[in-house]
C-alpha cells in the first residue's frame, strides 16, 4: 500500500506522542493516587484531526457549592498547525494546570466568568455595558441575589440593598478577598467590615448593613444551596453611633412661617407638602409617581399602588376634608386627564416625573432662606400630620391605618418615639409635692 510523505510524518507524530504519554502516565502514577474531587487535565484531540477544535479539559468539585466545575482551555491551539506541535503544546498545558491544581489552586477562586454586574453604577454601564468579567466568585452571586430580591421589594429597597452590597464588595476588593472562595468570608471578616463602618455611621445604619448581608448569605444557603455558614450570627455586637436621625414633626408656629413663604414662592411645593401632611404619603417613592387617576373624587380617597408602596400592597387612604377642598376648589385637579403625574415640570400636572431630590432641594432652599433649623426636613410634614392627628384624639388603630404600618406594634413604637405617652391627668392633676 502506498503511503504518502505527509502520512508518514503523521504516523511518526503519533508514535512519538505515545512514547511521551507513557512516560507522563508513569510520572503521574508515582505522584500518588488522584484526589477524588479532581479530574486532572487531559486532551481532546478531535480524534487526530488537526483542523478540529482541540482543547485541554479538567474538572474540580467545589468545596463551596458541592458541584463539579469544568474548565476547557481552547486558547493557543490555533497557533500550531501540525499534529506533533499541537500535542507538545497540550502537554505543556496539562503539566501547567496539573501543577496549579496540586498546589491548591482552584478555578472557582480566580477565573473570570462573564456575568451581568448589577452593582455597576449607571454612568459606568453607559460607557462600558453591564457585562463584566471580574476575577471573582462572589460578584456574580451579588447580581443573582438582586435579581432574586427584585420581585419582593420596592424599588428604593432594592437600591438600598444594591448600594450596601456595593460597599461590601469594595471592602472585599481592598482586602484581596474578592477572588477568594466564599469560605474565606467568615464572621471575623464581616465584623471587621462593620467596625470600619461604625466609625462613620449611626447604629441604625450599621443594623441595616447587617440585615442586607444576612439576607444575602441566607439566599446563598437556601436558594443557591451553597454549603457555607451564614457569617452574620448572634456573636456580632451592635456597633455605630447612637444617633436619632429621623426627622421630627414641625411645630405649628414654624409650619405657619413655611406655609406663608412656600405657598407664595412655590405653589407646587406647597401642594406636595399638603399631600404629605394630610395623607402621610411617602414623598419620594409614592407621591412623586402619583398620577391623578389615583385620586377618587367620589369616595374622597387616594390609592397607592403596590408597585410604589413600601409594603408592596395596594392601599387606599382617606383624604381629609381640608385637603379635598384644596384639591377640588383651589387646584381643580379633577379637570386634568387622569394619566398625568400630580407633580411634574412647569409647576403643573404633566407627563414628566420629577427627579428624586427635586422637591426636597426646593424645600431646603425655602427653609434655609428663613434661617430655620436643618432638622426640619421635607419628610417632616408626614410626622407633623401624625402628631397633630394623635393630639386631636385619633386612637392607635386609626393611626396605624392612616400611616399604613403593617403591625400595630410599629405604630405604638412610632407614637412613643414621636409623640410620647401623653396624659392630661399627669399634666393637670398631678398631686402636689408639699
- Residue among 48, 42, 41, 47 nearest 13 (CA): 48
Q: Which of 73, 106, 139 is the last residue of a domain?
A: 106
Residue 3: its H or E element: none
Residue 356 belongs to domain with CATH number: 1.10.443.10
Q: Which of 106, 137, 159 is the last residue of a domain?
A: 106
- In this structure, the answer to whether residues 297 and 383 fall within a common structural domain is yes
- In this structure, the answer to whether residues 271 and 310 fall within a common structural domain is yes
- In this structure, the answer to whether residues 119 and 92 fall within a common structural domain is no
Contacts of 396 (CB under 8 A, 6+ apart): 408, 411, 412, 415
Looking at the domain assignment, is residue 434 inside a domain?
no
Looking at the domain assignment, is residue 401 inside a domain?
yes
Q: Is 351 exposed, middle or buried (0-12, 13-18, 19+ CB in 10 A)?
A: exposed
Task: Assess contact for 183 and 64: CB atoms under 8 A.
Answer: yes
- In this structure, the answer to whether residues 186 and 207 fall within a common structural domain is yes
- In this structure, the answer to whether residues 125 and 148 fall within a common structural domain is yes
Q: Is 181 exposed, middle or buried (0-12, 13-18, 19+ CB in 10 A)?
A: middle
pTM of the model: 0.54
Q: What is the dihedral of CA 115, 121, 126, 129, to 10 degrees?
A: -10
- In this structure, the answer to whether residues 256 and 361 fall within a common structural domain is yes
Reported as a single tens digit per residue, the pLDDT across 249-259 is 788 999 999 99
Q: Is 44 helix (H, G, I), strand (E, B) or coil?
A: strand
Sequential pLDDT tens for the chain (434 residues): 444 544 544 455 555 555 555 545 444 444 444 446 788 899 999 888 888 899 999 888 765 555 677 888 888 898 888 998 899 999 999 998 888 787 666 665 444 455 566 566 544 444 344 554 455 578 888 989 999 998 888 778 888 999 999 999 999 989 988 877 787 888 889 999 999 998 888 888 888 999 999 999 999 888 887 777 888 876 777 776 655 555 667 889 999 999 999 999 999 999 999 999 999 898 888 999 999 999 999 999 999 888 777 767 888 999 999 999 999 999 999 999 999 999 999 999 999 999 989 999 999 999 999 999 998 999 899 888 888 888 888 888 888 888 888 777 777 776 766 666 666 666 677 777 86
Q: Is 167 exposed, middle or buried (0-12, 13-18, 19+ CB in 10 A)?
A: middle
Q: Which residues of 306-336 are buried (b: 16+ CB within 10 A; e: fewer)?
A: eebbbeeeebebbbbeebbebbbeebebeeb
Q: What is the dihedral of CA 197, 202, 208, 211, to 10 degrees?
A: 70
Looking at the domain assignment, is residue 62 inside a domain?
yes
Contacts of 280 (CB under 8 A, 6+ apart): 317, 382, 385, 386, 402, 403, 404
- In this structure, the answer to whether residues 147 and 100 fall within a common structural domain is no
- In this structure, the answer to whether residues 162 and 259 fall within a common structural domain is no
- In this structure, the answer to whether residues 59 and 124 fall within a common structural domain is no
Looking at the domain assignment, is residue 433 inside a domain?
no
What is the DSSP track for 220-270? HHHTS------S--TTSPP-SB----SPPPPPHHHHHHHHHHHHHH-HHHH
- In this structure, the answer to whether residues 359 and 421 fall within a common structural domain is yes
- Residue among 338, 358, 334 nearest 266 (CA): 358
Looking at the domain assignment, is residue 233 inside a domain?
no
Looking at the domain assignment, is residue 230 inside a domain?
no
Q: Which residues of 263-286 are buried (b: 16+ CB within 10 A; e: fewer)?
A: eeebebbbbbbbbbbbbbbbbbbb
- In this structure, the answer to whether residues 88 and 174 fall within a common structural domain is no
Query: Count of domains in the chain?
Result: 3
In 95-137, where do the E strands start and end? 115-116, 131-132
- In this structure, the answer to whether residues 123 and 86 fall within a common structural domain is no
DSSP label at 304? E
Looking at the domain assignment, is residue 234 inside a domain?
no
Looking at the domain assignment, is residue 49 inside a domain?
yes
Q: Which of 55, 78, 106 is the last residue of a domain?
A: 106
Give the C-alpha separation, 325 to 37, whole Å: 74
Per the structure, the complete domain to which residue 189 belongs is given by: 115-222
Reported as a single tens digit per residue, the pLDDT across 301-328 is 999 888 777 767 888 999 999 999 999 9
Please name the residue that has the C-alpha cell 450599621. Answer: 206
Amino acid at each position: 500500500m502506498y503511503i504518502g510523505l505527509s502520512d508518514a510524518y503523521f504516523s511518526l507524530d503519533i508514535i512519538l506522542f505515545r512514547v511521551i504519554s507513557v512516560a507522563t502516565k508513569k510520572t503521574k502514577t508515582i505522584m500518588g493516587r488522584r484526589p477524588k474531587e479532581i479530574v486532572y487535565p487531559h486532551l481532546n484531540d478531535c480524534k487526530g484531526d488537526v483542523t478540529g477544535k482541540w482543547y485541554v479539559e479538567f474538572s474540580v468539585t467545589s468545596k463551596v457549592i458541592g458541584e463539579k466545575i469544568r474548565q476547557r482551555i481552547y486558547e493557543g491551539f490555533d497557533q500550531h498547525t501540525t499534529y506533533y506541535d499541537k500535542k507538545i503544546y497540550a502537554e505543556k498545558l496539562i503539566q501547567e494546570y496539573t501543577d496549579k491544581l496540586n498546589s491548591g489552586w482552584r478555578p472557582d477562586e480566580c477565573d473570570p466568568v462573564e456575568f451581568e454586574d448589577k452593582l455597576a453604577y449607571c454612568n459606568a454601564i453607559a460607557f462600558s455595558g453591564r457585562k463584566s468579567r471580574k476575577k471573582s466568585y462572589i460578584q456574580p452571586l451579588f447580581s443573582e441575589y438582586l435579581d432574586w430580591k427584585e420581585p419582593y421589594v420596592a424599588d428604593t429597597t432594592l437600591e438600598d440593598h444594591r448600594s450596601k452590597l456595593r460597599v461590601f464588595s469594595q471592602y472585599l476588593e481592598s482586602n484581596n478577598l474578592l477572588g477568594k472562595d466564599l469560605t474565606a468570608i467568615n464572621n471575623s471578616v464581616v465584623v471587621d467590615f462593620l467596625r470600619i463602618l461604625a466609625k462613620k455611621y449611626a447604629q441604625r445604619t450599621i443594623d441595616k448593613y447587617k440585615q442586607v448581608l444576612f439576607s444575602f448569605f441566607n439566599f446563598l444557603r437556601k436558594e443557591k444551596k451553597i454549603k457555607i455558614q451564614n457569617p452574620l450570627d448572634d456573636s456580632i455586637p451592635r456597633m455605630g453611633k447612637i444617633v436619632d436621625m429621623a426627622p421630627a414633626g414641625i411645630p405649628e408656629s414654624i409650619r405657619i412661617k413655611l406655609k406663608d413663604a412656600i405657598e407664595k414662592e412655590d405653589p407646587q411645593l406647597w401642594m406636595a407638602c399638603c399631600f404629605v401632611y394630610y395623607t402621610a404619603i411617602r414623598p419620594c417613592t409614592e407621591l412623586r409617581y402619583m398620577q391623578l387617576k389615583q385620586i377618587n373624587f367620589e369616595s374622597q380617597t387616594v390609592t397607592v399602588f403596590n408597585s410604589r408602596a413600601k409594603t408592596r400592597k395596594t392601599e387606599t387612604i382617606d383624604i381629609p376634608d381640608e385637603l379635598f377642598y384644596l384639591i377640588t376648589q383651589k387646584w381643580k385637579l379633577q379637570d386634568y386627564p387622569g394619566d398625568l403625574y400630580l407633580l411634574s415640570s412647569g409647576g403643573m400636572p404633566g407627563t414628566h416625573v420629577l427627579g428624586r431630590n427635586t422637591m426636597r432641594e426646593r424645600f431646603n432652599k425655602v427653609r434655609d432662606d428663613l434661617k430655620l433649623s436643618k432638622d426640619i426636613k421635607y419628610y417632616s410634614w408626614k410626622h407633623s400630620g401624625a402628631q397633630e392627628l394623635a393630639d386631636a384624639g385619633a386612637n392607635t388603630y386609626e393611626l396605624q391605618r392612616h400611616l399604613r404600618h403593617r403591625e400595630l406594634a410599629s405604630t405604638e413604637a412610632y407614637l412613643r418615639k414621636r409623640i410620647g405617652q401623653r396624659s392630661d391627668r399627669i399634666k393637670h392633676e398631678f398631686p402636689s409635692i408639699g
